Every structure is written in C-alpha cells, then in structure tokens.
Structure 1
C-alpha cells in the first residue's frame, strides 16, 4: 500500500502514543491517519478480529459511500480498492403500490453513490492499518474505565483479567454507547442528548435470480408508503439487502407468518415474488426490529488528552446515508487540522470541536428530515417537479444553485453551510416560481381580454345568423 511508506510530517509525532478505542470503520481509518503521520498507535476493540472470524455479528445495514467518505479513503491511499468492491447507484428507483417503477437520478450524469458491505469494508480498513509498523491491533479487550486526570485506560479481557495503559491521546471511536464519552459526562458544560426515534428497522433479502440481479442493480430501490417504507441496496453476490423501516407498534402488530404475508401483499406486492413467501415468513421473525438512535453532544474534546469521533460523537439515523461518511470526514478534518497546526494537539482539538460540532448536528437533523422525504415526499408530484426544477437550474447556473442532495453527497461543503445555502436557494427558487406563475397569470389575463371582444362579436354574428326567431 503506497501510503504505508509515507514519511512522518513531524518527527516529534514519533514519540507520541495514541490509543484508539474502537476498531470499527472510523477507528480503523483513524489508525491509518495517525500511523501515516508517525504516531505510535494502538487500537483496542471489544469484538473478535473480524478478519479471521466467520459470520462475524454486527450491524449490517448496507452502507452508501459518497464523496466525503471517498476523500478520506483517498487520503490514506484506499479509495480505489474500496470503490472496486462497491456497486454504483445512480439514483432512486421508486416502487408504487401498483408495481409501477420510476427513477429519480441523484445528480448529474456520472454522479453516483456506492453500495458497500460494512463487514468487508471494516476488514479492508483493519488490514490496511495492520500494514503500518507503528500500529498494534488489540481485540477482545473492552474499555472498563478511563481516568482522564491520570491519562489511564483500564481494559478487561474475556478471562476477566484487567490491565492498564497510558497514552498521550485517546480517540474515542467506540460507537453510540461510547464508554470513552462517559468521562465527558463528568465535565462541566458538556451538553449531551440522545433520542430514539419511534421507528425501527428489520432486514430481509432478495436473492439472485438465475445467477443475476432480480431488479435493476444500479439504483437504491424504495417502496415509500407515507408512514413507513422499505429500501433495497445491491450486493456483490447479486442479492439485495432489503431494510423495512416502520413504527415499532406496526412491527408488533404482525405476530404470525400469515399476517406478515397479508401485510406485504397489501403494501409491497411486487416484492413478494422477489423475496419469496417462505423466506419472508422465516426472516421476518429471525430477529426483532432494531432501534435507531440519534446522539448529539458538545464539545468533542477534553483538553489535549481526548477526542471523540464517529458515532461516539454524533450517531445519526441512516436515512441520508451519511453516518459513515460523516465519521470518515471527522478523520480527514482532524488530519487537515494537524497539518494546519503542525501536530499541536492543544490547538487542534479545540478547533476540531469548533468546526465539527455544528456540522455533525446539522447532518443529524438532515438525516431525520430525509426519512420523511424518502417514505412520503417522493410520492408527491410537487416534490418531483421541484427536483427537476432544482436540477435544471443547477445545469444552467452550476455555481449558484446546487441541489441539497448534491451538496450533501457530492461535495465537502460543511453540513451547516449546506443547510444555510439550501434555505437561501429555496427562497430564491420559490420567488422565481411565484414570479413565473404571476407573469403567466398576467399574460393569460391580457390574452383573455384581447380575445374577449372578438369572442363577443363572433357570438353576436352566430346568434344573428342561426337564430330561430
């Protein structure tokens, strides 16, 4: 891997030790960034090594890799190998109740997001990190306690034995239920909130048909049903991973295989022959519906000793496909700040919080909004019309008008600025539409009044010539 041989950007970094708690996607990528910079890196992961364990358990919602994530992977020389194992999705394929399908492109020609497998990506990142001589990966070691005053981490092994380690910097990448973040809860003026949305998710599978994809592979398929929806993302083995998102009370109403079958016949009839009746009845009850949590906190750092990234800092719901991308962007933003401040953690950490907190809160809000868009708004003719208007104006004025989805998915404009710019653009476009509508109404009235005198004259002639009196 070319990035392995990259020299340290600051020789002083070689003396610094970094502990990354969490060996998931963000933790593994962070290990590459810090190792490339020359730090001595140790990764501590509670699970077994996913590279060697068969049928490793974990969250399996397919991931949508987009520009922000790709830029982070590119920075450590991994973009090409990850992209080569992803499937391009050029837009949404909307499935109506009648079975009719219609597509909505994500952006301009050539713009797409990638369906990638979470497990495979995690393996690739861990393997990449292990290639650095200054990285050590530790598995089945769970953080039990973190004493920030003493810079002391206490871990416990499966045999219940414990050990303590000390590092110059601790990077908390241990997920939405972060143990590292618990230390932050004891700090003054630390804001924290988490919200479970009232909807859960359940995964199903559409297997390959005759050795090929059963549906169009280069789309994210959506069955929008207003208060709930199902989506399907393509996999390399020619299957689709389907995810049903629905209020928990709706999941709980379906208690038998026949009830599930009737529900799908009513709301997702075209998916039944694809999933298979027996497979649906079996898989629906394989696991209960899973919860989704949204986490916000501020700030992301304590002094020069500790920083949070990824879900530990900002768990978001999956409806914008930005959870992984935002976490990866944390890594590259921090790396860019380390360049800017020459590895000075006393400057880098507070600036990271200042920059990322509002951005990550913004994408958290956008993700919640996008659920409503995906399950409801895509059925609206006005929504589709506005999409085409936005894309047309973007084509005509590419630097002035940029659609919301394009800004989020195909640029690195900060999420906070994306929202600000979107609000401004909406005002401009709505004003233009009102102006066009008003002008059309005035033109219609002018034509009508010009036409009316001739109409009255014609009626007089008609009445005179064809009168029976």
Structure 2
C-alpha cells in the first residue's frame, strides 16, 4: 500500500487510524486545526472525561497502548448515586461480580499518547494549525485554499465536520438535546486525598439538572453538569451559583472552592446526535469517508463515543485486509458493517440519559438491577444485562437489542411456567386439605 492518505483531525480517532494505516505502509498526512495540544495544552472545560471500556481497550491493544492507557486510568466499578437532600449515597455495581470496571482517563492525556504513537510511526506526518475545509477537484482544501492531492481523505474532524459540510452528496441529520454541558472541578482534599470515592462514577440525578463526576489521577474529579441551556444563563452571578449548588448538590458544594470561578469561565457545550448518509463519496476522483463523530456523533451518556470511534478505525483496517487493500471496496464494506452498529448505540445512549437522570434513584430500578445481577451469576455467559454487553464485551452494538429481547422472552416464558407449576401445586394442596385428594394407600 503506497497510496497517499489524508486524515482531517488529530483527535483520538484520527491518531489511531493514522497509526494503523502507517503500519500498513501507507503515506499518511494528518492535518489538525489546533496547535499541537502536547505543547499548547488542551482546551479548558471541554474534555468530558473518557470512560474507556472493553471496545476501546481492544482497539488500543492493536497499537500497543492498552497497558499504558490502563496505567494512566482509574477503574470505576459502579455508580455512586447521591440522593436529593444530601443523604448517604448508594453504590450500584456495574457487574454482578463487582469486578468489572470502566476506566476514567483524561481525554487530553489519551490524545497525547495517541499523537506520540502516530508521530513515531514511519510514513505518518502530523501538521498542526492547518484545517482541512473540504475536497475539490481531487485536492484537499486547507483553510479554503487548494492543497495537496490525495487518493483517500478520511474525515475524523468531529461532529461539526468541515469536510462533511463541503460535500453536496452527503446528508446529515443533527438532533440537539435541549441540554448543554459545563465542566467543574472538585480538587483534592487538603491532605492530598480524593474528596469523593474514586472507585465510582458519581451521579447526582436531579431530573433535568443532572451532574456527574469522574476521578482523575491527580486526585481531583471532573464534574459535568447536564442542564437545559436556559438554566445555565439563569445563574447570572456568583451568589446565585453558590446558592443553587448548596440547595441541589449540598454534599459536594463545599468541596468546590472555585465553584463560582469555574462556572463563569468554562463554556457551555452542546449535545448532539449526528446521523450522516452516506459515509463514503467519490469527490472528483478522491475517495472521502467519514469516521467517528463526523459520521455518527452520539451523546455521552453510555460513555461510548470514543470506544465507538475506535471500533470504526479497527473496522477500516480489517476491511482493507479483507479486500486486499482496495480502498473503494474497503470503505464501502466499512460503511455497510458499521452503520447499523452506530445507529444502535446512538439510541441506547439517549435511553441511558433517561436512566441516569431519572431511574437510578428509584427503589424499583435498584431492585430490577439486583435481579439482573442475580440472573447473571446464576446463568453466567447466557444472561447479560444491556450495560454489560455494551461496556464489557465487543458484541456488535446492533446485536444487543435483539439479544436483550430474546433473553426477556425466555425469562418471561420461564417465569410463566414456574407460576403455572406453582399454581397447580397449590390447587392440589388445597384439594388435599379439603379431603378431595385420593387417600393414600
């Protein structure tokens, strides 16, 4: 493989894909609109800590970064749900054995490791402060001006992809939540310890005003507010901010000495689901394909955005293997295989938002979760909850809803049979007690 490949975007997916393609012998140039974040630093307040799980780890292992990522991550074995009024939080393990965990890692740190991996791969060149704004007549456009020719352009430039927007043949549905997000920080305690339990993803379910917190290696927590955008603007002064947090998040408000400053400084981000159609287009002799958020951005409530984008990269590499390096066939196959999976996780991520903000504090939800874990222990390998299938396996996303339906049908049939048997036994016992049974001989 010697064809010239351009990747737009040096984020997580762009760097992983560049490393995979460089190892195949491709000449890859990666353009990134930002300065090198390893030098300039990450954008403040826009990280949303990553929850890397089985799918992401499997992808990182392909480029030798799994061990490094886990060494720089903190495992979270469950959710810690903080009730209204500041009462004692309750811990809800993610798995029946309480041993499986998702891994909290800073986006900037993982991006830096992937940049290093790409930069050290022969054939890969990184160019910063240059933005690919489109493809025209077989050339990429750099900041609107004609640039180099490329046989293949892979758009890894995010949910608001400039490459996607430049192509007339690609449609895009963008569904915005009314909610935005803003990041805050809980620093370490005065003695250097964690202010909250670091073994959990913390949730303050307050309906439309949910907050979560994920631990960092420096013993701080990155908190993220998911609120309707109007609620951010309503808190238009430091006193209102402090009063609101003391009323709604009393057990954590005192752990944020710079709450008012963080709230004022950090921007409000948008939450969008992107569904592009198609993902692949021939643009004047240049094959263009959308990857990651450019093709299928999802909301972050299942922690699968990066994991899903990493699977895209692995699938492209696998499709090139299966087609003998034929880019046209490989990209068509990539789209065919991946799109049903990304549609499935987009729906599950939206549903998990409702679970996190409304259901996790319900006693009925906790009872159902306990029952699921009991079934997982009793029927190991045959019954798995949706959360475990998404987070702790690499079962294709598209297969998960049907598997859950089959499990529920089987359990429903088993429960009905058990109820019928119990009813028959009860009726027989009643008849015997009334003397209606056949006397023993």
TM-score (norm 1): 0.86
Task: Please say if 1:100 is aligned against 2:88.
Answer: yes
CA distance in 1, matches of 2:140, 2:10: 16
Q: After alignment, is 210-219 or 298-307 more displaced?
A: 298-307
- Tell me what 1:281 maps to: 260
The equivalent of 1:179 in structure 2 is 162
Task: Give the aligned partner of residue 221 of structure 1.
Answer: 202
SS in 1 for 2:30: strand
Counterpart position of 1:169 = 152
Distance 1:117 1:36 in 2: 26
Q: Distance in 2 between matches of 1:234 and 1:32?
A: 29
State the SS of the aligned residue for 2:239: helix
2:349 aligned partner: 367
Partner Cα separation in structure 2 for residue 269 and residue 408 of structure 1? 33
Q: Match for 2:112 among 112, 123, 129?
A: 123
| Cα distance change on mapping 1:370 and 1:182 into 2, 3 Å | same
Provide the rounded CA distance (Å) in 2 between the counterparts of 1:219 and 1:442.
Answer: 46
Mapped partners of 1:85, 1:260: distance in 2: 33
Contact map agreement 2:35 2:128 (CA 8 A) in 1: yes
**Alpha-carbon offset, residue 452 of structure 1:** 9.9
Contact 2:78 2:201 in 1 (8 A): yes
2:390 to 388, 392, 408: 408
Match for residue 153 of structure 1 among 121, 140, 153: 140
- Cα separation, 2, equivalents of 1:434 and 1:224: 35
Conserved in 1, the CA contact under 8 Å of 2:77 and 2:100? Answer: yes
Question: Any conservation in 2 of the 1:45–1:140 contact (CA below 8 Å)?
Answer: yes
Gaps of 5+ in 1: 1-12, 454-469
- The alpha carbon displacement at 1:419 in A equals 1.6
Q: Once the 2 structures are TM-superposed, how far is the Cα of residue 89 of structure 1 from its aligned partner?
A: 0.6
RMSD: 2.2
In the aligned structure 1, how far is the partner of 2:83 from the partner of 2:410? 32
Match of 1:383 among 365, 370, 375: 365
Deviates more, 1:30-39 or 1:336-345: 336-345
Answer whether contact 2:46 2:269 (CA < 8 A) is retained: no
Point out the more displaced range, 368-377 or 330-339: 330-339
Distance 2:91 2:246 in 1: 23
Counterpart Cα distance in 2 of 1:415 and 1:136? 33
Structure 2's unaligned 5+ residue stretches are 436-441
- Determine the C-alpha separation between the residues in 2 that align with 1:371 and 1:319: 5
Q: Which secondary structure does the structure 2 equivalent of 1:424 belong to?
A: helix
* Alignment correspondent of 2:192: 211
Q: Work out the CA distance in 1 between the residues paired with 2:356 and 2:418.
A: 29
Q: Give the structure with higher Rg (CA).
A: 1
Whole-angstrom distance in 2 between the partners of 1:229 and 1:430: 34
Give 3-state SS (helix, strand or coil) of 1:379's partner. Answer: coil
Q: Is the partner of 1:132 in helix, strand or coil?
A: coil
Residue 201 (1) aligns with residue 181 (2): yes
The answer (yes or no) to whether the contact 1:298–1:353 under 8 Å persists in 2 is no
Would the alpha carbon gap of residues 252 and 112 (structure 1) be closer, same or farther in structure 2, given more than 3 Å must change?
same
Q: Do the aligned partners of 1:41 and 1:136 also contact (CA within 8 Å) in 2?
A: yes
Deviations 1:89-147 (Å, cap 9, x if unpaired)?
A: 11111111242111111123431111001111111111111111211100111123311
Aligned partners of 1:434, 1:254: CA distance in 2, in Å? 53
d(CA) in 2 for partners of 1:434 and 1:235? 47
Which residue does the alignment assign to 1:351?
Answer: 333
Which of 250, 255, 260 is equivalent to 2:241?
260
Task: Pick closer, same or farther for the CA change 1:444–1:281 going to 2, 3 Å.
Answer: farther
Q: Quote the Cα distance in structure 2 between the aligned partners of 1:163 and 1:347.
A: 27
Deviation at 1:263, TM superposition (A): 2.0
2-structure distance, mates of 1:449, 1:325: 60
Please tell me whether residue 306 in structure 1 is matched to residue 295 in structure 2. Answer: no
Aligned counterparts of 2:183 and 2:366: Cα–Cα separation in 1? 28
Q: Which stretch has the larger CA shift, 354-363 or 333-342? A: 333-342
Stretch of structure 1 that moved more, 429-438 or 63-72: 429-438
- Structure 1: how far apart are the matches of 2:209 and 2:419? 34
Alignment of 1:36-185 (within 5 A): 36-54=23-41, 56-57=43-44, 59-97=46-84, 98-107=86-95, 108-147=97-136, 150-156=137-143, 162-184=145-167
- Which residue pairs with 1:456 in the alignment? none
Count of residue pairs brought into register by the alignment: 429
Three-state SS of the structure 1 residue aligned to 2:38 is: coil
Distance change >3 Å, CA 255–CA 436, structure 1 → 2: farther
Q: Is the partner of 1:181 in helix, strand or coil?
A: helix
